[in-house]
């Protein structure tokens, strides 16, 4: 979703049309970022407590923040992000952002009289609606906003679920994913409608009153806010919101550290929710230092710490929280092909769900194809209707109950997975072909070129051409519009999601097949158990 306005081109906005050459655009982007870093430095955004005086007067070099981080571009891992400007040790303080630099509703309530008076008339608006209004209100001030250097560097558009059109939503193919997108869209639309009166009272210009502007603000908030203790909507944290995401569980287990950190979360969730593996004996202080960070009441600043060792030049990442790919798409507009927190749900009969005390959300298949603990326990109990009392305690420890029981359970999951795969409109091979085809489309591209590429791909590629009015463009040398390029990108995200979903189901089929063999012939295939 794009907000047309005062922003300068951002690196996340490759197709924003301007007449500048690529070098001119890059130079402008760097200048705009340098403006923001200089502004931030003057406010005390730095890598140490003493850096404010030192850096506010000196010229900013190479988009550096103090001597620890620099803004850099990582095309395959989040785009614009923060790189280590020196070797960083685990637990190092890498960035602090003073409270005065955080953009929060509270700040506006305390400093802007007309805003505060108007907001008090709308007690029914939620904290996140108020933060959306606050953001658009500040955007409306243009150069007069205290946060102008920060606001000019926000992305112009987002690809969160609520921005998907009907075709893009249907491209998920799986009911619960389509439903998640529709729900996200209608929730945001109704939040926008409820906020209209306040925005009109605040005399928003017409462009800022639109659903398009609201979608932009709402995606900015869902993808960039950090948790603060005084507002459940969180805060916008200049510079601190440039960290890209690494899924907890991927690279945290480095050497001696066995902690699983759920950690600091964007999207206004709590920081440092941590689960230690058995036997881990960390002191409170070391726990604090190992987490990504949080708002420190003592020094009134948001503090970020390195959660692992980084070599100079490496991207410094944060774990925003544990999200499935669908949740990542909903809140952040991206997904990860390797996501240890991803889950695939297969619908089961109601009688199955009631066989155990586990909630339905825990009954899923892990991204690697293994059924979850709760799904296995529940199905094992369901398959022993007459003995539930006597074997319940065994099932709840995760033990398989008998050869016959295990074969029934694995057979059921296998059948269910196969049936789902068969019922979907495209095969995993077709999805793979579509994704490889889209990869070949390079910017700038013409309608003719995209027509040629997509007509050969099958699946829903023809539908994409039709929906976008490209079915007759086999000879058109016109460049693809920005709107179609954005739609192509979102469609690709949906195809990537369903491709990953199908891969998990196929891996689950192999897992169940191996497991059936292993329980049937333990002497020959016992190592598969």
Q: Closest separation between CB of residue 26 and ligand SAM, Å? A: 15
Q: Closest separation between CB of residue 163 and ligand SAM, Å? A: 12
Select the span of 74-82, 366-374, 446-454, 474-482 touching ligand SAM (CB under 6 A). Answer: 74-82
> Across the strands, what pairs with 231?
228
- Tell me if 339 contacts ligand SAM by CB under 6 A: no
Backbone angles phi, psi at 346, to 5 degrees: -120, 130
Contacts (CB under 6 A) with ligand SAM, residues 262-301: 266
Q: Closest separation between CB of residue 525 and ligand SAM, Å? A: 38
Pick the closer one to ligand SAM by CB: 79 or 249.
79
| First CA to last CA distance, the chain | 48
Environment class of 434 (CB within 10 Å of its CB; exposed 0-12, middle 13-18, buried 19+): buried
Select the span of 54-62, 173-181, 198-206, 330-338 touching ligand SAM (CB under 6 A). Answer: 330-338
- Residue in this structure with the two tokens 């491209």, named with its chain if needed: 171
Pick the closer one to ligand SAM by CB: 292 or 406.
292
Cβ-contact 132, 214 below 8 angstroms: yes
Select the span of 79-87, 283-291, 371-379, 499-507 touching ligand SAM (CB under 6 A). Answer: 79-87
Number of chain residues interacting with ligand SAM (CB under 6 A):
17
- Tell me if 78 contacts ligand SAM by CB under 6 A: yes
Q: Which of 137, 204, 208, 245 binds ligand SAM (CB under 6 A)?
A: 245
Pick the closer one to ligand SAM by CB: 155 or 437.
155
- Say how many C-beta atoms besides its own lie within 10 A of residue 128's C-beta: 21
Q: How far is CA 314 from CA 12, 170, 265, 311, 522, in A?
A: 20, 38, 21, 6, 47
Backbone angles phi, psi at 513, to 5 degrees: -60, -45
- Tell me if 12 contacts ligand SAM by CB under 6 A: yes
- Tell me if 150 contacts ligand SAM by CB under 6 A: no
- Tell me if 310 contacts ligand SAM by CB under 6 A: no
**Would you report the helix, strand and coil content of the chain in percent, each value rounded to 5?**
50, 10, 40
3-state SS record for 501-523? HHHHHHHHHHHHHHHHHHHHCHH
Pick the closer one to ligand SAM by CB: 237 or 376.
237
- Tell me if 77 contacts ligand SAM by CB under 6 A: yes
- Tell me if 52 contacts ligand SAM by CB under 6 A: no
* Rounded-to-integer distance, Cα 393 and Cα 406, Å: 16
- Where on the chain is the footprint of ligand SAM (CB under 6 A)? 12, 77-81, 155, 223-224, 241-242, 244-245, 266, 332-334
């Amino acid at each position: 979703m794009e907000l047309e306005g005062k922003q300068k081109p951002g690196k996340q906005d490759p197709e924003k049309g301007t007449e500048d050459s690529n070098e001119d655009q890059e130079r402008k982007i760097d200048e705009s970022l340098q403006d923001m870093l200089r502004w931030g430095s003057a406010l005390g955004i730095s890598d140490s407590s003493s850096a404010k005086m030192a850096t506010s007067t000196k010229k900013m070099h190479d988009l550096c923040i103090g001597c620890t981080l620099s803004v850099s571009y990582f095309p395959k891992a989040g785009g614009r992000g923060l790189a280590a400007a020196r070797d960083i040790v685990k637990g190092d303080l890498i960035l602090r952002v003073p409270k005065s630099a955080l953009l929060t509703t509270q700040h506006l309530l305390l400093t802007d009289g007309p805003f505060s008076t108007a907001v008090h008339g709308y007690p029914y608006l939620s904290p996140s609606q108020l933060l959306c209004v606050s953001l658009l209100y500040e955007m409306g001030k243009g150069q007069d906003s205290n946060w102008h250097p920060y606001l000019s560097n926000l992305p112009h558009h987002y690809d969160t679920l609520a921005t998907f059109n009907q075709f893009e939503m249907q491209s998920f193919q799986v009911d619960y994913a389509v439903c998640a997108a529709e729900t996200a869209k209608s929730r945001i639309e109704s939040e926008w409608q409820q906020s209209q009166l306040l925005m009109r009272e605040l005399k928003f210009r017409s462009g800022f009153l639109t659903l398009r502007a609201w979608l932009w603000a709402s995606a900015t908030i869902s993808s960039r806010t950090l948790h603060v203790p005084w507002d459940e909507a969180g805060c916008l944290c200049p510079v601190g919101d440039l960290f890209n995401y690494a899924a907890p569980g991927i690279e945290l287990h480095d050497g001696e550290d066995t902690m699983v950190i759920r950690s600091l979360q964007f999207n206004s969730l709590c920081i440092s929710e941590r689960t230690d593996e058995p036997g881990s004996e960390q002191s409170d202080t070391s726990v604090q230092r190992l987490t990504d960070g949080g708002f420190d009441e003592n020094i009134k600043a948001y503090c970020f710490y390195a959660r692992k060792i980084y070599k100079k030049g490496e991207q410094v990442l944060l774990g925003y929280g544990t999200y499935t790919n669908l949740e990542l798409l909903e809140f952040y507009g991206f997904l990860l092909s390797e996501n240890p927190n991803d889950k695939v749900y297969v619908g089961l009969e109601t009688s199955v769900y009631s066989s155990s005390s586990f909630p339905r959300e825990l009954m899923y298949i892990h991204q690697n194809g293994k059924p979850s603990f709760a799904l296995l326990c529940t199905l094992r109990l369901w398959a022993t209707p007459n003995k539930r009392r006597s074997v319940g305690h065994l099932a709840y420890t995760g033990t398989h109950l008998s050869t016959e029981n295990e074969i029934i359970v694995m057979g059921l999951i296998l059948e269910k997975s196969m049936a789902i795969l068969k019922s979907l409109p495209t095969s995993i091979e077709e999805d793979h072909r579509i994704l490889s085809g889209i990869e070949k489309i390079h910017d700038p591209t013409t309608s003719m070129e995209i027509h040629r590429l997509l007509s050969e791909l099958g699946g829903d590629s023809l539908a994409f051409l039709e929906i976008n009015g490209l079915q007759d463009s086999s000879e058109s040398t016109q460049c693809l519009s920005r709107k179609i390029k954005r739609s192509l990108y979102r469609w690709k995200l949906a195809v990537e999601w369903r491709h990953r979903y199908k891969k998990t189901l196929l891996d689950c089929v192999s897992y169940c097949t191996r497991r059936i063999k292993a329980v049937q012939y333990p002497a020959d295939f016992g190592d598969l158990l």
